[in-house]
Amino acid sequence: MSDIVRHHTSTRMSQAVEHNGVVYLAGQVGDDPTADVKTQTQQILDKIDTLLGECGTDKSRLLWAQLWVTDMRYFGAMNEVWDAWVSEGSAPARAGLCSALAGPDYKVEIMVMAAK
Amino acid sequence: MSDIVRHHTSTRMSQAVEHNGVVYLAGQVGDDPTADVKTQTQQILDKIDTLLGECGTDKSRLLWAQLWVTDMRYFGAMNEVWDAWVSEGSAPARAGLCSALAGPDYKVEIMVMAAK
Amino acid sequence: MSDIVRHHTSTRMSQAVEHNGVVYLAGQVGDDPTADVKTQTQQILDKIDTLLGECGTDKSRLLWAQLWVTDMRYFGAMNEVWDAWVSEGSAPARAGLCSALAGPDYKVEIMVMAAK
């Protein structure tokens, strides 16, 4: 068995990589880029829950997160959904940033690391 | 004792998370957003020193850093304070980037990882 | 022997840091900032190959990557070079982002982590 386990691996990226007790997720975007900020954020967090589950862990073991919005006016709506999702007492180290994203309609992207 | 130790944990984030010999700090911003770039950078580095100390480590054990300015014109002033702060021979892997930040007056944000 | 091994360390940053089985590389930019996006990307990936080799690992063991372009119009050209470079079946967790970079002519920067 390899010491690196990859999940949903394409030519470009793996959606999750496990190594040495740490899970690295790819930056996640919403399934529906036309949806509003809160809906995109919830879709992202649902995808993170699923990927963490496939790696045998969950959001209570988050270590690190970076969150991007394409416009800081979206920051409050994203945070509202994020805050409601985080496990009580288990919030990761985090930075909230601003960036253009891969698709022009994406408004939010979130990338996390978690302990196995 | 849990294998994950969190410090200064709110609903949104922990200021520091320890796991498996690595310390992950949240992105730090200055205490005084109205201060100039050098002052904000020094405030950030002071906060990083304090947080690393609470985790039983220090800046000589930095592994990784990302630094953001809101305008690349601030990059030189930030680097001047950063360069004076880094422990000789112990600089981390680093990327210097540009992003809008959570508060409109913040000019600098720095996020690091360190070994315990 | 220290538990942290640093490579090409300046006052500001190390180009590579090894700790606990993980290699952290600094954000890499092209050698020739006047070159086009594809050429800059290839120069970056060549530098990453060299640095990973100096740390006793290679691109088949990538864990995590962040890639920045200064303009999302460059994203497709960067991805084309990236996709051709990644080891089959070994793509890292990844986020593709947008940021101004340290030099005004740099169009691409890439930062990775790999397993030893």
Question: Do A13 and C83 count as a contact with CB atoms less than 8 A apart?
Answer: no
A75: left (phi over 0), alpha (psi -120 to 50) or beta: alpha
Report pLDDT for A3: 96
CB of C81 closer than 8 Å to CB of C41: yes
Q: Tell me the pLDDT band of B56, cut-offs 50, 70 and 90.
A: very high
Name the residue of chain B whose CA is nearest to C29's CA.
B95
CA distance B97 to B108: 10
pLDDT tens readout for residues A6-16: 999 999 999 99
What average pLDDT does this structure show over C74-82? Answer: 98
Main-chain dihedrals φ then ψ at residue A112, nearest 5 degrees: -130, 160
* Matching residue, tokens 């730090």: B28
pLDDT of residue A24 exceeding 80: yes
Question: How many other CB atoms are found less than 10 A from the CB of residue A39?
Answer: 17
Report pLDDT for C93: 98
* Averaged pLDDT score across all residues of chain A: 96
Question: Which residues of chain B make contact with A79, given a CB cutoff of 8 A?
Answer: 12
Question: Do B17 and A64 count as a contact with CB atoms less than 8 A apart?
Answer: yes
Q: Give me the interface pTM, i.e. the ipTM.
A: 0.96
What is the pTM (predicted TM-score) of this model? 0.97
Q: Tell me the pLDDT band of A1, cut-offs 50, 70 and 90.
A: very low
Partnered with residue B110 across adjacent β-strands are: B28, B67
Query: Which are the contacts of C112, defined by CB distance < 8 A and separation ≥ 6?
Result: C25, C48, C62, C63, C64, C65, C66, C92
pLDDT tens readout for residues B17-42: 999 999 999 999 999 989 999 999 99
Residues in chain B: 116
Name the residue of chain C whose CA is nearest to B73's CA.
C102
pLDDT tens readout for residues B60-116: 999 999 999 999 999 999 999 999 999 999 999 999 999 999 988 999 999 999 999
Of A21, A86, A95, Cβ closest to residue B111? A95
The domains of chain C, with CATH numbers, are: 4-115 (3.30.1330.40)
* Interface contacts B/C by beta carbons within 8 Å: 78
Residues in chain C: 116
Which tokens in the block code for residue C15? 């180009």
Question: Do A100 and C95 count as a contact with CB atoms less than 8 A apart?
Answer: no
DSSP C13-74: -EEEEEETTEEEEPPB--S-TTS-HHHHHHHHHHHHHHHHHHTT--GGGEEEEEEEESSGGG
What average pLDDT does this structure show over A51-78? Answer: 98
What average pLDDT does this structure show over A19-30? Answer: 98
Question: Do A99 and C94 count as a contact with CB atoms less than 8 A apart?
Answer: no
Report pLDDT for A96: 97
Report pLDDT for C1: 47
Interface residue ranges in chain B relative to chain A, Cβ cutoff 8 Å: 3-4, 6, 9-17, 19-20, 24-27, 66, 68, 99-102, 104, 109, 111, 113
Q: Tell me the pLDDT band of B1, cut-offs 50, 70 and 90.
A: very low
Report pLDDT for B103: 87
Max CA separation in chain B (angstroms): 46
Interface residue ranges in chain A relative to chain C, Cβ cutoff 8 Å: 3-4, 6, 9-17, 19-20, 24-27, 66, 68, 99-102, 104, 109, 111, 113
Q: Tell me the pLDDT band of B6, cut-offs 50, 70 and 90.
A: very high
Which tokens in the block code for residue A77? 């709506």
Partnered with residue C115 across adjacent β-strands are: C22
Helix residue spans in B55-104 (DSSP H): 75-85
Which tokens in the block code for residue B32? 């005084």
**In which order are the strands placed within the sheet that holds C4-9?**
C4-9, C14-19, C22-25, C108-115, C62-69, C93-98
Which tokens in the block code for residue C1? 């022997």
Tally the C-alpha atoms within 13 A of residue C61's C-alpha that lie toward its C-beta.
19
Question: Which residues of chain C make contact with A6, given a CB cutoff of 8 A?
Answer: 89-91
Name the amino acid, one letter, at B92. Answer: P
CA A10 to centroid of chain Cα atoms: 18
* Matching residue, tokens 């990226």: A13
Name the residue of chain B whose CA is nearest to A112's CA.
B24
CA distance B64 to B75: 18
Question: Do A93 and B111 count as a contact with CB atoms less than 8 A apart?
Answer: yes
pLDDT tens readout for residues A95-106: 999 999 998 899
Question: How many other CB atoms are found less than 10 A from the CB of residue C115?
Answer: 17
Report pLDDT for C103: 87
* Averaged pLDDT score across all residues of chain B: 96
Question: Which residues of chain A make contact with C115, given a CB cutoff of 8 A?
Answer: 3-4, 19-20
